[in-house]
Copies of this chain bind each other. A is one copy, B any other.
Amino acid sequence: MSGFAAATAVTPSGDGMWEAAIAPGWDIAGNANGGYLMAMTARAATLAADRSDPVAVTAHFVAPGTPGPVTVQTQVLKQGRRFSTVEATLAAERPLARLLGTFGDLGDGAGHLERLGSEPPSLPPPDDCLRVEPTDTFPPPFVGRVDLRLHPDTGAFGVPGSAHVSGWLRLRDGEPVDTLSLLLAADALPPAVFFTDFPISWVPTVELTVHVRHRPRPGWLRCAFTTRFVTGGFLEEDGEIWDESGRLVAQSRQLALVPRG
């Protein structure tokens, strides 16, 4: 198995329980990336429901995850004709994340009405973008697990600008993207609000929801994230993920905490 598939692998141990391990290197400042944890948990839920794809998945993060063994307890709440509803808890010694999702088989997406309100995000070719390489601090080790190329106009941290970030993303070593890796992609870029003069350097995720529309075709993912509202002690970050063929494959929204000013 390649990097992402191996690092999110789950093994059934009966009664809806799955064994897994948080792999080293998928962390930001020591804590495993939320999208990575969500993808691992959703993999168990997808298998538990005997479905191919996450369709609408929400994770609430209750404690940070560090490398080592974990379990995923799944419960299929409803097995419908077209969709399954599943809940799952990722736990180490204590619960780390709780997931609730609808799963299905997205097929080829043919035969549906289509109307798109915007074009894919505009990005120069990947080789003309900013390649992000991991360090022990920032950029975090996590970016070494993916291949991330930010838009060349991406601003520096802490300078005036709009809370927007975009870039290309793919898995390393030619591993193809699938619908589970879209959950990873939904949380893989640096937070958009970092690219502003707003004094925020830490935005712990409360909740992340991803809606998957299509199975991505092979190649790069084109990703864009925007924060519009910092208020009430929270901010949202809205994401669009498009595949290389120009299809919207997922939307995401997360609610994150804003430290008190």
Contacts and interface: CB of A to CB of B under 8 A. Distances in A.
A182 to B, nearest CB: 12
Interface of A: 55-56, 58, 60, 62, 77-78, 80, 83, 85, 87, 89, 95, 98-102, 106, 109, 111-118, 163, 198-200, 206-207, 209, 211-214, 227-234, 236, 247-248, 251, 253, 255, 258, 260-261
A215 to B, nearest CB: 9
A185 to B, nearest CB: 16
Contacts of A100: 58, 60, 87, 98-100
12 contacts: A55-B234, A58-B207, A60-B100, A62-B77, A77-B95, A100-B100, A102-B206, A112-B260, A113-B198, A212-B232, A213-B234, A229-B251
A115 B62 contact: no
Number of copies: 2
Given A102-B207, A116-B230, A211-B255, 12 more contacts: A56-B60, A56-B207, A60-B101, A62-B85, A98-B100, A112-B233, A113-B199, A115-B231, A116-B228, A211-B234, A213-B231, A229-B248
Contact of A80 (B62, B198, B213): B62
Given A95-B77, A231-B214, A253-B253, A55 B206 contact: yes
